[in-house]
Chains A and B, each alone.
Chain A
Amino acid sequence: MLKYTIRRLLGMIPMLILISIVVFTLAKLMPGDSLSGEIDPLNTNPEYIAEMREKLGYNEPLPVQYFDWITGFLQGDFGKSTRFKVPVADVIIEKIPNTLFLGVMSLLITYILAFLMGMYSGRKPYTIGDNAIAGVNYIMLAIPSFVAAVFAIYFFSFHLNWFPFGGSVDILVEEGTLDYWFSRLHHVLLPALVLGAMSTASYTQFLRNDIIENSRKDFVRTARAKGTPLKKIYNVHILRNSIIPLVTFLGFDFAALIGGAIITETIFTYPGIGQLFLDSVTSRDYPTLMALTMLLSFLTLAGNLIADILYGIVDPRIRLD
Chain B
Amino acid sequence: MKKNKSLLWLFAMILVVSAFLAACGGDDGDTGSKDSKKEDGTTEDKAADGEPQKGGTLVYGIDAPPEGLFSTAFYGIQTDFDVISLFDESLINYNENLEPEPNVASWTTEDNKVFNFKFEEGVKWHNGEELTVNDWVFAFETLADPDYDGPRYTNVQTIEGAEAYRNGEADTISGVEVINDYEVKITFDEARVNNLTNLWSYPLPESVLGDVPVAEMSASEWVRSTPIGIGPFKVDKIVPGESVEFSRFDEYWNGDVNLDKIVLRVIDNSSVVGALQNGDIDMISLQPVSGPEVEPLENVEIVTYPGLSYYYVGFKLGKFDNATQTITEELPKYQSKELRQAMMYAINRQEWVDAFFFGYANVVNKPVPTSHWNAADDAEADLNTYEYDPEKAKEMLDAAGYVDINDDGFREDPNGDEFVVKFSHYATGNPTFESRAQAITQYWEEVGIKSELEMVEVNLYYDMIEKDDPSIETFFGGWGTGTDPDPSGLWKADQLWNYPRYNNPEADQLLDDALNIDIVGTDQQKRADLYIEWQKIVNEEVPMLYIAELEEIVAMNERVGGTEFDVSGSNSPAEWFVTE
User: Which positions in A face B, CB cutoff 8 Å?
Assistant: 31-33, 36-48, 52, 55, 80, 83-87, 94-95, 153, 157-158, 161, 165-169, 171-172, 175, 269, 271, 279, 282, 284
Do A46 and B496 touch (CB < 8 A)? yes
- Residue interface mask B430-469, A partner, CB < 8 A = 1: 0000000000000000000000000001111011001000
In the complex formed, the residue of B with least CB distance to A283 is B459
User: Which positions in B face A, CB cutoff 8 Å?
Assistant: 5, 8-9, 12-15, 17-18, 21, 24, 28-29, 57, 65, 67-69, 74, 76-78, 149, 151-155, 218-219, 224, 237, 239-245, 263, 265-268, 270-271, 274-275, 278, 322, 428-429, 457-460, 462-463, 466, 480, 482, 496-497
Do B5 and A166 touch (CB < 8 A)? no
Q: A45-B5, A171-B239, A269-B268 are in contact. Are A36 and B459 (CB under 8 A)?
A: yes
**Shortest CB distance B281–A (Å):** 11
The complex places the Cα of A46 from the Cα of B153 at a distance, in Å, of: 12
Q: A40-B24, A40-B77 are in contact. Are A85 and B458 (CB under 8 A)?
A: no
Q: A40-B15, A161-B278, A171-B243 are in contact. Are A32 and B271 (CB under 8 A)?
A: no
The complex places the Cα of A66 from the Cα of B48 at a distance, in Å, of: 60
Set of chain A residues within 8 Å of B245, measured between Cβ atoms = 171-172
The complex places the Cα of A284 from the Cα of B5 at a distance, in Å, of: 28
Contact of A165 among B67, B239, B266, B275 (CB under 8 A): B275
Do B218 and A85 touch (CB < 8 A)? yes
The complex places the Cα of A86 from the Cα of B245 at a distance, in Å, of: 22
Set of chain A residues within 8 Å of B265, measured between Cβ atoms = 167, 171
Of the listed residues B18, B270, B497, the one surrounded by the most CB atoms of chain A closer than 10 A to its CB is B270
Q: A40-B14, A158-B274 are in contact. Are A85 and B74 (CB under 8 A)?
A: yes
Do B275 and A48 touch (CB < 8 A)? no
Set of chain A residues within 8 Å of B274, measured between Cβ atoms = 157-158, 165
Q: A166-B271, A171-B239 are in contact. Are A43 and B460 (CB under 8 A)?
A: no
Set of chain B residues within 8 Å of A42, measured between Cβ atoms = 12-14, 28-29, 78, 151, 480, 482
The complex places the Cα of A171 from the Cα of B459 at a distance, in Å, of: 33
Set of chain B residues within 8 Å of A153, measured between Cβ atoms = 270-271
Contact of A45 among B17, B154, B462, B480 (CB under 8 A): B154
Do A167 and B263 touch (CB < 8 A)? no
Q: A41-B15, A43-B151, A86-B224 are in contact. Are A167 and B242 (CB under 8 A)?
A: yes
Q: A39-B18, A45-B9, A269-B271 are in contact. Are A167 and B243 (CB under 8 A)?
A: yes
**Shortest CB distance A147–B (Å):** 14
Do B219 and A166 touch (CB < 8 A)? no
Contact of B13 among A36, A41, A55, A167 (CB under 8 A): A41
Q: A31-B457, A31-B460 are in contact. Are A271 and B241 (CB under 8 A)?
A: yes
Closest 8 A/B residue pairs (Cβ)? A32-B459, A37-B459, A171-B243, A36-B463, A269-B268, A42-B12, A44-B151, A271-B241
Do B240 and A271 touch (CB < 8 A)? yes
In the complex formed, the residue of A with least CB distance to B240 is A94
Contact of B242 among A37, A40, A46, A171 (CB under 8 A): A171
Contact of A40 among B29, B57, B76 (CB under 8 A): B76
Do A84 and B68 touch (CB < 8 A)? yes
The complex places the Cα of A32 from the Cα of B237 at a distance, in Å, of: 35
Set of chain A residues within 8 Å of B462, measured between Cβ atoms = 36-37
In the complex formed, the residue of A with least CB distance to B74 is A85
In the complex formed, the residue of B with least CB distance to A82 is B76
Set of chain B residues within 8 Å of A39, measured between Cβ atoms = 15, 17-18, 21, 76-77
In the complex formed, the residue of B with least CB distance to A94 is B240
Set of chain A residues within 8 Å of B480, measured between Cβ atoms = 42
The complex places the Cα of A161 from the Cα of B271 at a distance, in Å, of: 12
Do A165 and B21 touch (CB < 8 A)? no
Set of chain A residues within 8 Å of B224, measured between Cβ atoms = 86
**Shortest CB distance B83–A (Å):** 13
Q: A40-B77, A166-B268, A171-B265 are in contact. Are A85 and B219 (CB under 8 A)?
A: yes
Do A48 and B271 touch (CB < 8 A)? no
**Shortest CB distance A50–B (Å):** 9
Given A39-B17, A41-B151, A85-B67, 9 new contacts (CB under 8 A): A31-B459, A42-B12, A42-B14, A44-B13, A44-B151, A86-B68, A157-B271, A161-B278, A282-B18
